Structure formats: C-alpha cells, structure tokens
Amino acid sequence: MEHCVPTANGSAALLVALEALDVGPGDEVIVPGLTWVANASAVLRVNAVPVLVDVDPQTLCVSVDGVRQALTSRTGAICVVHLYSSMADMDGLRALADDAGVPLVEDCSQAHGAAWGGARAGTLGAVGVFSMQQTKVLTAGEGGAVITASGDLARRLEQLRADGRVFRRAPPPVGALELAELGEVTGANLAMSEVQAALLLEGLTRLEDENRVREDNASRLDVALAELPGVTPIRSLPGQTRRSYYHYVVRVDCRRFGRQDVAPFAAMLSAELGFPAERIYRPLNDHPLYRPSTRRSSALSAAYRAAVDPTRFRLPECDRAHDEVVSFHHRLLLGDDRDMDDVIGAFHKVWDHLA
Ligand SMILES: *Cc1c(COP(=O)(O)O)cnc(C)c1O
C-alpha cells in the first residue's frame, strides 16, 4: 500500500475511512455482529445505518453468505473485521464486493502482520484500518491508521483527520508548520502525535518476531487442546497464510458438562492459571455499550431510529460463539514452553473436574 494516514486511535481511523469513502445519510454499512462496538458506532457517526450480519462459526468473522444476504442497493460499504486470530474469507468477500461495486473496509485492529494468500491484512480492500490501542499487538497506548493504494482516498483521509490540511511533500520553511491548508473536505483534528509515531516505528521492528513466537505457541496449544473432547481451537481458513494473534480463542462445548455457557469453565481456568480467561464479545444486537437510542442523532427521523435499532437483527452464530468461546489475551502466547505446558495442564484439570 502506498499510503498510510496515522490517526489518534482506531475509532478515528474507522470514522475517516467511512467519510473518505463518502458514506453518509441514506447508506447502509454491513458490520459483523461480533466485534468491538467501534465498528458499529463509527457508522452511526456518519448518520448511516449499521446492518449487523452473523459470523462463520469456524473463523468468528463475517461469512460470505451472511454479507451477500445483507447487501442492498443502499449498501455504501462492507466493514470486514479479522477477529482475534482469524481472517475473514477475503477471496469470497472481494469477489462479492467487486460484483456489487461496494468498497471493502478491512479492519485489521486485531490482525497486524496477518496475511491472506501472501498479501498482508489491510491491503485487500479499498482501505485497511488499524488500531494501536494499549491491548493490541502493536501499540503506542493509543493510535490508529488507515492504509490505501488510492492517492485520491489518501488525500481525503489526510484532510479529514487534520482539519482540511495535508502533509507538505517538501520540507517547510524554518519555523513553519509541516501542514499545507487545502480545505477540499472539512475534517476534524484526529491526528496522531509524533511521540506515538516514534513508539510505533520501534514496535514495528519487533512485530514479526513477536508474531512468530505467538504463532508457534498457538500451534502447540491447538494440537494439545484439540485432544480434549468438546474442545475446539478456532481455526483459520486455508487462504490465510499468516496468523496474528490478538486473542487466543477456543470453543468449548459446555453442554456436555451440563452448563449453559463457558463462564464456569473460564472462571476455573483463570483461577488455575492466574491469568484471565475471558468470554468473548457480546453480540452487537445485545451489547451494553452499543445502544444507538441513547444518541440524540438517532432521532433524525422515525425511520432512522427504527433502522438503527440493533435488536431487529438475528445473530445465532454470534450468540452461540459468545456462549461457547473462551479467550486469552495475546501476551499469554509470548510465554515459553513451560507456560504453554501450564495452559495445557489447566485445560485438562478443569475438563476432568467438570466432566
Ligand atoms: C480496538 C478495536 C477498534 C477500536 O480501536 P481504538 O483504537 O480503541 O479506537 C476497532 N475495531 C476493532 C476490531 C478493534 O479491535
């Protein structure tokens, strides 16, 4: 990708990406039902309608069929999120988006360094969006970026995040700002600081090595944990050639222990390991932090208020994943062989106990 426009955070990156693609009132944006709330709330910020779609149970990312069924003549963008450690089916989604003439926004906030068919995550859509918030595998505490191959989009993105200004290509006169005033599109100040940028450039030199450590440890866990009946590590599709682990995620069939959901299993694992084992995101049609009706702008019209009501969507695979999947933050995967033995041992102990 030729162009990278840094932003204050990933949410700002999503916002300027949608604005650069000219998504606005009257448009729908397809958003996974299982993701961080920023994907849907960014759509509300441009007064468009988030259309929530169900996920593929193997990857936990949007399925091609789910997106196909949600496409309408009003679809202004498709937001794809590579969730936890898996990428969505980018061959199928790109073909679908090209046919429909709708841009793909590829959210790689959980996939720094991942690859599909040898191509890096973020280079497969119209724009690639990244977060460098404190929990992510590449971080400066806060931070974001949008990458694109399009010079026109980059020019809009730059102005949208710096009050209509762009970086000067030539060094500025002594004492002058590095920004040139263009004003082709009115933006806001959503810029990244130089201190953040310096931290990220340093972090980038470590990313490949750390990703490799996480990938090796995860492969070991995949093999060992799959030996337990009813325990299934989340897999990636054959097209994904590199995995990047934001969270390590495992599906546990809790019904076999007579449990409604994975909460008791996760609590016991946490106690055993002294490291949090967590449940994954609540689906966005039932998420306490995603309540469009709490925003004044949702009352633009009765029709808009009804359209943004997330409870109108059915997301059975998101619901099932929320009930069954247990997750660990990526720093668990930066441990050594003995740490991985501890994780495997803890799974066995909890499984034996519940069984
Ligand atoms: C973290 C995250 C964001 C939001 O990024 P912030 O930097 O916290 O604003 C957006 N999308 C996904 C998938 C994320 O994981």
Spatial separation of the C-alpha atoms in residues 196 and 205, rounded to whole Å = 15
Percentage of residues of the chain with pLDDT beyond 90: 96
**What's the token pair of residue 297?**
């702008």
Task: Indicate whether 341 and 224 sit together in one domain.
Answer: yes
Task: Indicate whether 75 and 17 sit together in one domain.
Answer: yes
* Rounded average pLDDT over 87-97: 98
Per the structure, the count of domains in the chain is 2
- Judged against a pLDDT cut of 90, whether residue 109 lies above it is answered with yes
Confidence at residue 266, expressed as pLDDT on a 0 to 100 scale: 98
**What's the token pair of residue 89?**
């089916």
Task: Indicate whether 179 and 213 sit together in one domain.
Answer: no
**What's the token pair of residue 230?**
């009813």
Q: Look at residue 297 and tell me if it is in a domain.
A: no
The CATH number of the domain holding residue 160 is 3.40.640.10
First CA to last CA distance, the chain = 50
Task: Indicate whether 250 and 179 sit together in one domain.
Answer: no
Spatial separation of the C-alpha atoms in residues 319 and 322, rounded to whole Å = 5
Q: Which of 175, 198, 221 is the last residue of a domain?
A: 198
Q: Characterize the bridge pairing of strands 240-242 and 231-233.
A: unpaired
Confidence at residue 1, expressed as pLDDT on a 0 to 100 scale: 75
Q: Look at residue 157 and tell me if it is in a domain.
A: yes
Q: Which of 169, 198, 227 is the last residue of a domain?
A: 198
Confidence at residue 64, expressed as pLDDT on a 0 to 100 scale: 97
Q: Could you tell me how far CA 32 lies from the centroid of its own chain?
A: 9
The residues, ordered by sequence, that sit 6+ positions from 70 with a Cβ below 8 Å of its Cβ are 30, 51, 53
Q: Look at residue 112 and tell me if it is in a domain.
A: yes
| pLDDT single digits (tens) 147-162 | 999 999 999 999 999 9
| pLDDT single digits (tens) 47-67 | 999 999 999 999 999 999 999
Task: Indicate whether 222 and 191 sit together in one domain.
Answer: no
Q: Which of 144, 176, 198 is the last residue of a domain?
A: 198
Task: Indicate whether 192 and 220 sit together in one domain.
Answer: no
Residue nearest to atom 6 of ligand 1 (CA): 10
Confidence at residue 300, expressed as pLDDT on a 0 to 100 scale: 86
Confidence at residue 169, expressed as pLDDT on a 0 to 100 scale: 85
CB neighbour burial string for 275-287, b if at least 16 within 10 angstroms, e if fewer: bebbbbbbbbbeb
Q: Look at residue 313 and tell me if it is in a domain.
A: no
Q: Is the CB of 148 under 6 A from ligand 1?
A: no
* Rounded average pLDDT over 87-116: 98
Confidence at residue 299, expressed as pLDDT on a 0 to 100 scale: 86
Q: How many CB atoms lie under 10 A from the CB of residue 115?
A: 19
What is the residue-wise DSSP string for 76-102? EEEEEE--TT----HHHHHHHHHHHT-
Task: Indicate whether 190 and 216 sit together in one domain.
Answer: no
Q: Look at residue 303 and tell me if it is in a domain.
A: no
Which atom from ligand 1 is nearest to the alpha carbon of 12? 9
Confidence at residue 189, expressed as pLDDT on a 0 to 100 scale: 98
Q: Is the CB of 196 under 6 A from ligand 1?
A: no
Which atom from ligand 1 is nearest to the alpha carbon of 81? 13
Task: Indicate whether 83 and 155 sit together in one domain.
Answer: yes
Q: Is the CB of 110 under 6 A from ligand 1?
A: yes
Q: Is the CB of 85 under 6 A from ligand 1?
A: no
Task: Indicate whether 43 and 153 sit together in one domain.
Answer: yes
Domain residues for the domain of 152 are 3-198
Q: Is the CB of 7 under 6 A from ligand 1?
A: no
Least confident of 24-28, 74-78, 234-238, 295-299: 295-299
Name the nearest CA neighbour of 63 among 37, 26, 96. 96
**What's the token pair of residue 5?**
């426009």
Q: Are 152 and 247 in contact (CB under 8 A)?
A: no
Task: Indicate whether 218 and 189 sit together in one domain.
Answer: no
Task: Indicate whether 113 and 233 sit together in one domain.
Answer: no
